[in-house]
Amino acid sequence: MKLAEHTVLITGGASGIGLALARTLTRMDNKVIVVGRDRGKLADAQENIPGLTALSCDIGSEEQRESLVSLLERDYPRLSVLVNNAGIQCHSRFDSAPPSLETIAREVEINFIAAVRLDAMLLPLLRQQKEAALIHISSGLSIAPKADAPVYCATKAALSSFARALRYQLEHTPVRVFDVLAPLVDTAMTEGRGRGKISPEAFASRLVAGLAGDRYTMRIGKTRLLYALHRLAPGLAYRIMKDGL
């Protein structure tokens, strides 16, 4: 797809992967809007990236999602790309101290339901454009989960499956649907964990290259190796990923 002159919305765009992608796409002559909950980070992002628009929104709230969509429909009628990037990861042990319903619901809401709802609410607007895209940032953990974040892994598997099914439904429309499986990226979420991380900037660069090449399912970095291993020896892939990277 063409990667210039779009109006792009990135959830969780004030830091990490979202911020790196916002910077990359802004440099490519796109109008970029980021949303997040941390007003301080949003202000910093807007100050450091010329032309960036930063909006405060808790996408885990249906009320705030509806307000966001109303604002976009009114002020940004040319919106053509949605990047569902926001996510949280809760480490939990169901065998010893099961998480509360509130904790489980919040993780599912932000990682999965928010993406599904934003897709649904913004599709009428995106379908009015000549070319549009729905981009879902999933994870290699959707291929093989790790033991200490079962809900997170399940939401990422659900997000990838949803993206593929949605792609089937929209294949005869201007809206392209992408599923991006991220490796271990050096962000606040992965601080102090794992080796061999890639930078948010490297991830953003590879994602943009995949968009330009219409790679509807992207396995970035080590997720390509994990996918190949899972096809050849799934038991080994599960053992490797069990304790995380």
Residue 207 is inside which H or E element, if any? helix 200-212
Query: Which tokens is 75 given?
Result: 């002020």
Cα dihedral 163, 213, 143, 114 sign:
negative
Q: For the chain, how many helices (H) and strands (E)?
A: 9, 7
244 Rama class: left (phi>0) / alpha (psi -120 to 50) / beta: left
Can you give the length of the chain in residues? 245
Q: How far apart are the first and last CA of the chain?
A: 33
CA angle 34, 56, 122 (to 5 degrees): 60
Q: Which of 76, 152, 168, 216 is catalytic?
A: 152
Q: Which residue type is seen at 216?
A: Y
What whole-number distance in Å separates Cα of residue 205 and Cα of residue 220?
A: 10
**Tokens representing 96?**
């010893």
Query: Is 152 one of the catalytic residues?
Result: yes
> Catalytic site residues?
152
